[in-house]
Amino acid sequence: MRCHVLCCAAALWSGSLMAIPLPVRPPETVPPADYISQVNDDSTITWRLWAPAAKAVEVVTGATPDRYVSHAMSKDDRGIWSFTSEAVKPDLYEYFFNVDGFRSIDTGSAQAKPQRQVNTSLILVPGSLLDVREVPHGEIHTLTWHSSVLNRERQLSVWVPPGMEKSAEPLPVLYFYHGFGDTALSALIQGRIPQIMDNLLAEKKIKPMLVVMPDTETDLAEAIPENFAPASRRQTFYPRNALAADKELIQEIIPQIAERYNVRKEAQGRALAGLSQGGYQALVSGMRHLDQFAWLGVFSGVTTESVPDFRVAAQLKKSKAVNRQLKLFTLVTGEEDIITGRDMTGLKVLLDHNDVVTDWHSLPGLGHEMALWRPAYIEFVQKLFR
């Protein structure tokens, strides 16, 4: 009887496998360069996808749904879909394929956006600070430890300036948080922080410093992002996660960095910044521990406008203390940001009302996107520790 049941199950399983034919492999006579995306010498991009059975394929560019642009692709007689853009400026671009209504990453590219649920690819058009140039390169250190605050193993990345891993002079530190939905690799891979720091340092535009990049998501049982509907994140997820990440930063990350590296330990030698959800994290930790930092950057951040924090709100009213402590309080938003634009403008109105001095930037034509955050980071980091 058991054998009969197993045989039936195997037959059903085998039948289900045969219901849909396996995808056809590209011919062995076709070089992969013929069906993978590429940047051309004239700064145009040709997107390609091998999908002979597809009925319609589009490449979709843009960072958020309100900024998506769909480009219809055409199929040749080999089953390769393609579309070539106009010339674009040097930058790192996001895109995905719409294949008969199914969202797909570019299976011919190794450059996927670092996300908790991967659905986007990246392509770099060279010619900017994002490039890997022939300059002295810093090191990327990965630190792993058991967090007693979160009761789990945690990791973070540290960019160390070239030749400075054993610096005799204490280095200042920038702590930088990534945004919602991305992984701890976001700052490295999509933010291009190692390339930016290498190139700016080679041009003598920044002070040597460590850049510490923690994971913004704590993954506490009560603060796992995937367990919250988008409509309820601001009410429950963000405040829970922010308090846990704040404890991790103050009780574990900063002491660990001080033990591992020769760094400055006074507030003048510490900066804190972040983008989107990471901007909220920077605001929360920066205000709750104002005595710990002298440089603060909030890029398109969720703010206390929509995610209240009574301690942060109380601190923002103490204009004399904030102005005395912070040598730089940078706020950056895109004029077309429909995700956190109201948060940022509301925060600016509040700070102006309280006479808090800020370095405010509202950039036209930009939304909630890396096209804003990378330039904001580049400008911010050049102002630090001077």
- Mean per-residue pLDDT of the chain: 94
Q: What are phi and psi of 257, to 5 degrees?
A: -65, -40
- 200, two tokens: 């700016």
Beta strands 210-214 and 45-50, pairing class = unpaired
| Model confidence band, residue 55 (pLDDT cutoffs 50, 70, 90) | very high
Query: 238-248 and 277-288 are packed helices; what angle lies between their axes, rounded to 10 degrees?
Result: 60
Burial of 144 (0-12, 13-18, 19+ CB in 10 A): exposed
Q: Give the Cα separation of 60 and 67 in Å (integer).
A: 10
The structure's pTM equals 0.92
Mean pLDDT score, 90-117:
97
User: Which pLDDT score, from 0 to 100, does residue 380 have?
Assistant: 98
Is residue 123 a contact partner of residue 91, using CB atoms and an 8 Å limit?
no
Percentage of the chain beyond pLDDT 90 is 90
Q: What are phi and psi of 310, to 5 degrees?
A: -65, -35
User: Which pLDDT score, from 0 to 100, does residue 10 have?
Assistant: 55
User: Which pLDDT score, from 0 to 100, does residue 164 have?
Assistant: 78
Q: What are phi and psi of 20, to 5 degrees?
A: -120, 120
- 336, two tokens: 């077309």
| Model confidence band, residue 19 (pLDDT cutoffs 50, 70, 90) | confident
Q: Give the Cα separation of 298 and 278 in Å (integer).
A: 8
Q: Is the pLDDT of residue 147 over 80?
A: yes
- 315, two tokens: 């601190």
Q: Is the pLDDT of residue 167 over 80?
A: no
User: Which pLDDT score, from 0 to 100, does residue 153 have?
Assistant: 96
Q: Give the Cα separation of 33 and 221 in Å (integer).
A: 45
Within 8 A by CB and 6+ apart from 87, the residues are 42, 43, 44
Q: Is the pLDDT of residue 15 over 80?
A: no
CA torsion 303-305-308-309 (nearest 10°) is: 50
Q: Find tokens 């102005």 and name the residue.
A: 323
Over residues 215-258, the pLDDT tens digits come to 999 999 999 999 999 988 999 999 999 999 999 999 999 999 99
Q: Give the Cα separation of 184 and 40 in Å (integer).
A: 31
- Please tell me the number of Cα atoms within 13 Å of 152 on its side-chain side: 12
Mean pLDDT score, 330-357:
96
